[in-house]
Amino acid sequence: MKTAAGIIVLVLVCSRAWAGESLWVLDSKSSEAAFAFSSTLHDVKGSVGEYEGYLDFEQTLRSAAGQGIFSVSSMTTGNAMRDRKMKNMFESERFPKITYRFDTASLPESGQGQTELRGRLMIRDVTRVLPISVDVIRENHAISFTGETDIRLNDFNLKAPSVLGLIKVDDRVHVKFKIVYQEK
């Protein structure tokens, strides 16, 4: 069975190479994602620790599609009680991943540039269109996307947490990221 699976993978990789397509993988060590939101008493910053994904180039390496998958359980604000409430809001046991998938991005041949990722964000069981403008850096065998965007919790049927109805979390979450893909 392992031999058959190996042959299938080899055929897929070779067919991509023959077609002039290239698959790159998300480099989790070089990537970073952070979020921030406000509450009645203070502003809160957090980060995501685990992610994975791919970038699929078309033949000329000037256009790509891809995705980033972020682990909800790896999201942290540095406050254990707040982190538990956040993970409960996301229903992390049932929906452990947040996925951003984009269909097409025009890319510079080399160096730096800007593009818009035309994609969809899936949180829990809700998917919304979310275009994001990003700075692109292409060097050696790596490409990075750096950007930021705002997400409204209500858009994903999420209710912002509160404490005794007095301390409330704002519906808007600001997300900043630098995602790096390496040629495989």
Reading the block at residue 15, the tokens are 């067919």
Per-residue pLDDT tens for 66-111? Answer: 999 999 999 999 999 999 999 999 999 999 999 999 988 888 777 8
For the segment 4-20, the average pLDDT, to the nearest whole number, is 40
Within-domain flag for 1: no
pTM of the model: 0.83
Q: What is the pLDDT of residue 131?
A: 95
pLDDT-based confidence at residue 128 (cuts at 50, 70, 90): very high
Sign of CA dihedral 11, 17, 23, 29: positive
**Cα–chain center distance at 79:** 23
175 is in which domain, residue-wise? 21-183
Q: In angstroms, rounded to a whole number, what is the distance separating the alpha carbons of residues 128 and 143? A: 25
Within-domain flag for 16: no
Residue 19 has pLDDT above 60, yes or no: no
Within-domain flag for 2: no
Output the domain CATH number for residue 119.
2.40.128.110
Within-domain flag for 50: yes
The more confidently predicted of residues 139 and 133 is 133
| DSSP string of 30-54, one letter each residue | T-EEEEEEEBSS-EEEEEE--EEEE
**Rounded to 5°, angle at Cα 93 from 88 and 95:** 90
Within-domain flag for 121: yes
N-terminal to C-terminal alpha carbon distance within the chain = 25
How many structural domains are present in the chain? 1
